[in-house]
Amino acid sequence: MADKKKKKLTLTQQEYQQLAKRHEPPRPLTRNFIRAFLVGGVICLIGQGIQEMFIHFFDFTEKTAGNPTVAVLILLSALLTGLGWYDRIAQWAGAGTAVPVTGFANSITSAALEHRSEGLVLGVGGNMFKLAGSVIVMGVVAAFAISLIKTLINMGG
Amino acid sequence: MTFLWAFLVGGAICLVGQFLLDVMKLTPAHTMASLVVAGAVLNGVGLYEPLAKFAGAGASVPITSFGNALMKGAMAEAEKDGLIGVITGIFEVTSAGISAAIVFGFLVAVCFRPKG
Amino acid sequence: MRKGYQSWVFPSRPVIVGRAAIGGPFEAQGPLANDFDTLHGDLMIGQDSWEKAERVLLEEACDKAIEKAGLRREQIHFMLAGDLMNQTISANFAARTLSIPFMGIFGACSTAMEGLALAALLVDSQSADYVLAATSSHNSSAEKQYRYPTEYGSQKPPTAQWTVTGAGASVVANQGNGLRVTAATIGKIVDMGMTDPFNMGGAMAPAALSTIESHFRDLQLSHDHYDLVVTGDLGKVGHSILSELLPKHNVNIPLKRYVDCGMLIYGDNPIVWSGGSGCGCCATVTYGHLLRRFQEGEWKRILVVATGALLSPISYQQGESIPCIAHAVAIEADTL
């Protein structure tokens, strides 16, 4: 996609973009990678802990404990978002908070929170999936395509 | 032991996400969508379930597990009901996550105000 | 009257008889806090939404500027205002409150100087005696509309900028004491194919260059004519780029006389990445800090070049690059 755009640029534009690139402070990759790894790992650790708690104290099995664990993590993320703390942690952690299901919950909650001023139906209801929508749509479409192919192969073979 | 693997695998998946954001310069939406699709693909080739077995929350907490869960639902239903199961089963397993996100998101929006 | 290809000179030298800068809690923590007329501690200013808070900022700036001019609302002939919101609602609703004949303008972050240039033109051409030029921006309403919900956890790159929560207004008159608006250059859209909405400085710098070049050419001025050349919100990245572009294009402004409002408003605070941005950035820094130093005698003539990025979320999603513009206004001391 980027190359297609570059080919349409004039020489002056290309030269300018090279100049501009030199003035761009580089993203602190090592720092961001370490933070993402650590925070992501810790969140999964917390998830594991919650899962163990459901198995040992609430009689869930390993198979069934996954759902309440995810629900608890979502609740925590929603609360942190409402309290205004989530985005500060996320600026530091990057993908570490965005990639776990906490990021999914934050995207839904933050959109709902932001558009509260437009009312519950149109504001909250109509905008809740502004960010999470692409994740759900792409996931469902991909799962549909892949499972369709697999099922057809299984039926044919 | 599962705890160690949960930490390592979860961290590694987030590392992939950070790579997509910083090096490939994808937007957060593109990054998350890619990871979900990757989860579905990994389930399709039979790699996600074994990963989930030894990594525990390290595989079930990242957004990739959403793609995996969508596939599990679709495939399970397809085995029962044939081809139509691919459509009817998709949300079976992920119902908890989506319902929780909608309900809690809604409640927080009602009770809190954005802080900017 | 027109001079050169795209510039105006104002022989009657319209006067800035009143000016005001209103800011939010983050601006209150910055190095220019003392140059604001009012600073709010609550980002929502006691309102129900970010958008309503932005309107309050703009209304307060307008009222304050009119008050400091020693005038009443009814005496202002025209109001020129704009902001970043869709359909410029902050300006529209502020105009509803002020009840002054109103023309909405949109120049994104270049609105401050677009307004000032047009106000000076109206006064100089004897089409008005008193004109109010105002603009505002709000960090949260801008994030909500252009980027992500304010509580969304996304990481911004080091080229990103922080939208100023603030409003600036000035009253331009055909008489009175104060700094004078002597010339203006209207910019053309410049698009260098930059597509990253998190690097506005890089996108806007060529537009600033184009307008500055045109200004000196149209008015036939030497490049060290101004004691200070200040851009609206190029930020650290844009400032650095323009500092390289200017000598490269034989515009030899002494670089120690070139500063940027986006860098001034927040100082060295790392939270703001490349610096401040938004319509309120150029407006509050100019109408608050810069004109205060000017009136204290620090300079005799300055050139304020406000820069704007004229994209929308849809144009970006449709794969378009970022078209930018810059408008320049020359301000001189009373006694010259």
> How far does the CA of residue A122 sit from the closest CA of chain C (Å)?
15
> How far does the CA of residue A56 sit from the closest CA of chain C (Å)?
33
B-chain CB neighbours of C155 within 8 Å are 21
Can you tell me the distance from the alpha carbon of B81 to that of C297, in angstroms, rounded to the nearest whole number? 85
**pLDDT bucket at A1, cuts 50 / 70 / 90:** very low
User: Residue A153 pLDDT > 70, yes or no?
Assistant: yes
For A65-90, the pLDDT digits (tens) are 889 999 999 999 999 999 999 999 99
**pLDDT bucket at C336, cuts 50 / 70 / 90:** low
Q: Where does residue C57 rank: exposed (0-12), middle (13-18), buried (19+ CB within 10 A)?
A: buried
Do B116 and C43 make contact, defined as CB atoms within 8 angstroms?
A: yes
Q: What share of chain A is helix, strand, coil (3-state, %, to 5)?
A: 80, 0, 15
* pLDDT at res. C139: 97
Name the residue with tokens 């190029």. C234
B-chain CB neighbours of C160 within 8 Å are none
Q: pLDDT tens digits, chain B, 116 residues: what are they?
A: 889 999 999 999 999 999 999 999 999 999 999 999 999 999 999 999 999 988 999 999 999 999 999 999 999 999 999 889 999 999 998 999 999 999 999 999 999 999 88
Do B115 and C139 make contact, defined as CB atoms within 8 angstroms?
A: no
Q: Is residue B23 less than 8 Å (CB to CB) from chain C?
A: no
- C196-218 average pLDDT score: 97
Can you tell me the distance from the alpha carbon of A15 to that of A9, in angstroms, rounded to the nearest whole number? 10
* pLDDT at res. A157: 67
User: Residue A8 pLDDT > 80, yes or no?
Assistant: no
Burial C11-27 (b: 16+ CB within 10 A, else e): eebbbbbbbbbbbbebb
Torsion of CA A47, A48, A53, A59, to 10 degrees: 110
User: Residue A6 pLDDT > 80, yes or no?
Assistant: no
Of the candidates B21, B28, B116, which has its C-beta nearest C150's C-beta? B116
Residue pair C140/B114 in contact by the 8 Å Cβ criterion? yes
Q: Is residue B113 less than 8 Å (CB to CB) from chain C?
A: yes
Q: Is residue A108 less than 8 Å (CB to CB) from chain B?
A: yes
Return mean pLDDT, chain C: 96
Enter the DSSP assignment of C190.
B
Could you say which of 3.40.225.10, 3.40.50.10420, 3.40.47.40, 3.30.70.20 is the CATH number of the domain covering C12-173? 3.40.47.40
Measure the CA angle with vertex B66, ends B64 and B71; round to 5°.
105
* pLDDT at res. A63: 80
Phi, psi of B115, rounded to the nearest 5 degrees: -105, -5
% of chain C exceeding 90 in pLDDT: 98
User: Residue A7 pLDDT > 70, yes or no?
Assistant: no
Which CATH fold would you assign to the domain C179-332? Peroxisomal Thiolase; Chain A, domain 1 (3.40.47)
Can you tell me the distance from the alpha carbon of C21 to that of C37, in angstroms, rounded to the nearest whole number? 6
For C96-132, the pLDDT digits (tens) are 999 999 999 999 999 999 999 999 999 999 999 999 9
Q: Is residue B114 less than 8 Å (CB to CB) from chain C?
A: yes
Q: What are the start and end residues of each CATH 3.40.47.40 domain in chain C?
A: 12-173, 179-332
Residue C124 makes CB contacts below 8 A (sequence gap 6+) with C1, C8, C10, C11, C12, C13, C14, C174
Question: CA of C195: which chain B residue's CA is closest?
Answer: B25
Can you tell me the distance from the alpha carbon of C246 to that of C255, in angstroms, rounded to the nearest whole number? 9
Q: From residue B110, how far is each of A110, A121, B114, C44, C101 by CA, in Å? A: 12, 12, 11, 17, 40
Can you tell me the distance from the alpha carbon of B38 to that of B69, in angstroms, rounded to the nearest whole number? 12
Token code pair at residue C61 = 């700036």
Q: Which strand (E) or helix (H) includes residue C137? A: strand C130-137
Contact partners for chain A, using 3 or more CB pairs closer than 8 A, are: B, C
Chain C residues 148-187 within an 8 A CB cutoff of chain B = 148-151, 154-155
Contact partners for chain C, using 3 or more CB pairs closer than 8 A, are: A, B
**Domain ranges, residue B22:** 2-112
Q: Is residue C43 less than 8 Å (CB to CB) from chain B?
A: yes
- C272-301 average pLDDT score: 96
Return mean pLDDT, chain A: 92
Mutation target to probe the A interface, by most A beta carbons within 10 A, among B32, B37, B87 is B32
Of the candidates C153, C157, C202, which has its C-beta nearest A87's C-beta? C153
Do A13 and C192 make contact, defined as CB atoms within 8 angstroms?
A: yes
Q: Which strand (E) or helix (H) includes residue C130? A: strand C130-137
Residue C271 makes CB contacts below 8 A (sequence gap 6+) with C162
Enter the DSSP assignment of C33.
G
Of the candidates B36, B74, B109, which has its C-beta nearest A109's C-beta? B109
% of chain C exceeding 70 in pLDDT: 100
- The pairing of beta strand C228-231 with beta strand C258-260: parallel
Residue pair C218/C3 in contact by the 8 Å Cβ criterion? yes
- A130-142 average pLDDT score: 96
Residue pair B105/A120 in contact by the 8 Å Cβ criterion? no
User: Residue C6 pLDDT > 50, yes or no?
Assistant: yes
Contact partners for chain B, using 3 or more CB pairs closer than 8 A, are: A, C
User: Which amino acid type is present at position C322?
Assistant: I
Can you tell me the distance from the alpha carbon of C213 to that of C229, in angstroms, rounded to the nearest whole number? 12
Do B108 and A151 make contact, defined as CB atoms within 8 angstroms?
A: no
Can you tell me the distance from the alpha carbon of C111 to that of C167, in angstroms, rounded to the nearest whole number? 11
Do B15 and A73 make contact, defined as CB atoms within 8 angstroms?
A: no
Residue A17: other Cβ atoms inside 10 A: 16
User: Residue A25 pLDDT > 50, yes or no?
Assistant: yes
Q: Is residue B96 less than 8 Å (CB to CB) from chain C?
A: no
Token code pair at residue C252 = 């030899």
For C71-100, the pLDDT digits (tens) are 999 999 999 999 999 999 999 999 999 999
Q: From residue C300, how far is each of C69, C199, C229 by CA, in Å? A: 22, 33, 12
